[in-house]
Structure 1
């Protein structure tokens, strides 16, 4: 008997651009009539209503809470990338890694491969224990199970990475421009969520005084609570 293939994680037919109904030539991450299209907007568009329902089922909650958890998860991932990109070498490493995610379609990937890729991304961005800290904080804040958030995060990470890769390539971003874009993404978050994520990320990367030190490039010991900013593996 042939092994059964894992089904796509989140089935959707329409493209992101169709869902958002942006004018031809309008790129993501820009202002359209005063509205900023964020990575979170793109993520929701890629998932569609059916994908959001699946996330709600995974979290055992309603669609509104699922949407809020998705915003928090994507915000945490983007925030971790932004912390790494505060250092030039970290920004360069991330910009190079995005090129490897240009031709991927994580919205239609199978669960096993998506989860593997997601764990790798999270390991570089937040570290293993850092990912657990984020999941615990977000689960507590949203009133959902930590186990469900831990399962969701590696599914969302490749989607955020792919969306950011498409944006960076489409807008011809260099490492410095990418770092600025990630900072703007953080500023677009609701204040309460931004404060929550800042506190959680400070617990992983250290406070501002600790984040002003020299960048250390190379493999980091991801079992430690503190993660050196920008110390992601250059291989990503």
Structure 2
């Protein structure tokens, strides 16, 4: 789906997965393809929202830009599940905080009407995909930290409104505030 004048990272995740990846995720979730697509979109949106939240401050944007260089040559769409999960958990911990990952999984599950357990397994798979695609854009378009932050803000603004509740719960909820206060986590 085209949103505005750019192809959203969420759409690129779906394109990268293709039909075989979508089928595998549907099986993992115990759902059909349409529901799996909905869950992937919501999970990707949470990661995009988290990255945008971290990049709101110059220090966070600089740290994120540096982290993107580490993902520039990654191909998470063809990686083994174990390394993808390990990388994804690291990304999610930075982006959402430790308990934020669980809160995000519950929020995505509630939003999509699926069980939270499989969503907890899906989030670490989706995070490196989003990060890799963003790294690809940053390298290709030679984006500096401020431009990456602006791109993410544009992505966040294009997210579906019903995902706002999940993002608010994760980023403005008591767990996030207690863990991070007014500061964003360092990469």
Gaps of 5+ in 1: 1-19, 21-29, 207-224
CA contact (8 A) 2:88 2:128 kept: yes
Higher fraction of helix: 2
Matches within 5 A, 1:212-227: 225-227=178-180
Distance 1:160 1:151 in 2: 16
Counterparts of 1:77-88 in structure 2, within 5 Å, are 77-88=47-58
1:198 Cα deviation (Å)?
3.1
Aligned residues: 186
Task: Give the match for residue 37 of structure 2.
Answer: 67
> Bigger radius of gyration, 1 or 2?
1
What is the Cα deviation at residue 227 of structure 1?
2.7
TM-score, structure 1 as length reference: 0.74
Any unmatched runs of 5+ in structure 2?
Answer: none
Partner of 1:110: 80
Aligned to 1:232: 185
Shift of 1:36: 2.9
Contact 2:96–2:170 (Cα < 8 Å) also in 1: no
3-state SS of paired residue (1:172) = coil
What is the rounded CA distance, in whole Å, between the counterparts of 1:190 and 1:147 in structure 2? 23
Aligned CA RMSD, in angstroms, stands at 1.9
- Residue-by-residue CA offset, 1:138-159 (whole Å, 9 max, x unaligned): 1122121111000001011111
Cα deviation for residue 201 of structure 1 reads 2.4
Classify the secondary structure of the residue corresponding to 1:100: helix
Q: Which residue of structure 2 aligns with residue 56 of structure 1?
A: 26
Quote the Cα distance in structure 2 between the aligned partners of 1:94 and 1:119: 16
Partner SS, residue 226 of structure 1: helix
Task: Note closer, same or farther for the CA distance 1:140–1:129 as it changes in structure 2 (3 Å cut).
Answer: same
- Look up the SS of the partner of 2:179 in the other structure: coil
- TM-score (normalised: structure 2): 0.92
Relative to structure 1, the CA distance from residue 114 to residue 199 in structure 2 (aligned partners, 3 Å threshold; closer, same or farther) is: same
